[in-house]
Chain A
Amino acid sequence: GAVVSQHPSRVICKSGTSVKIECRSLDFQATTMFWYRQFPKQSLMLMATSNEGSKATYEQGVEKDKFLINHASLTLSTLTVTSAHPEDSSFYICSARSTSGTSYEQYFGPGTRLTVT
């Protein structure tokens, strides 16, 4: 149980285009999803917290107009990187927190590797 998927797993796009990444909780409902960014050989940095049906809360220094987050249902959150540039190339990971059971645990997706050329 507690599986989180991400799609796509890898994406290459041209500079200036937008890319949408999906995060789905497959076998549980998640009121809260988190989006992280991981640079090569570095730790995960929280970008934003996404709550179903409300606006996402962004961490300091993260441009909300560039990284659009939508959490339209209890099983789906999307991250759209708008007008992507090479410096946006990174590994994006989502996690989801279940609405039931213990509230502390986050389940992580496999990540999406974005390359902007």
Chain B
Amino acid sequence: AQSVTQLDSQVPVFEEAPVELRCNYSSSVSVYLFWYVQYPNQGLQLLLKYLSGSTLVESINGFEAEFNKSQTSFHLRKPSVHISDTAEYFCAVSDRGAQKLVFGQGTRLTINP
């Protein structure tokens, strides 16, 4: 079984500041890793994913995440945030077999002007 821990329930930052949202996972098998974003009153949207290959993955809106196998982490980063990045961010893991997603608790990112 897999589990995901997002260490920060809330992260407030100022606009144009860098941000890192932390995610650690636990699994006895190889996994896929995902970050999803949920804007207020909306469903989840896939932000980025790690399947294999390069450990650094990027999204189209400037976010990136790095898979660190030794630390079992998949932290999400952005060098300069915008007001529009205000949302809930969920880290998720799935095994490569059943492929059921297990979500972390979520991190609420709040951008202050």
Query: Could you say which of B11-19, B20-28, B40-48, B71-79 contacts chain A?
Result: B40-48
A109-B43 in contact (CB<8A): yes
Interface size class for chain B?
20 to 34
- Known A103-B99, A104-B32, A106-B101: A43·B44 in contact at CB below 8 Å: no
B42-A111 in contact (CB<8A): yes
- Closest chain-B Cβ to A41's Cβ sits at a distance in Å of 8
A108-B45 in contact (CB<8A): yes
Query: Total interface residues on A, using CB and 8 Å?
Result: 22
- Known A103-B99, A104-B32: A42·B106 in contact at CB below 8 Å: yes
Bound-state Cα–Cα, A49 to B101, Å: 11
- Known A49-B100, A104-B51, A105-B49: A43·B42 in contact at CB below 8 Å: no
The interface residues of chain A lying within 8 Å CB-to-CB of B67 are none
A43-B94 in contact (CB<8A): no
A46-B100 in contact (CB<8A): yes
The interface residues of chain B lying within 8 Å CB-to-CB of A110 are 42-43
The interface residues of chain A lying within 8 Å CB-to-CB of B105 are 42-43
Q: How does the 8 Å CB contact mask read for B71-113 relative to A, with 1 for contact and 0 for none?
A: 0000000000000000000100010100111111110100000
Binding site for A on B (CB under 8 A): 32, 36, 42-46, 49, 51, 90, 94, 96, 99-106, 108
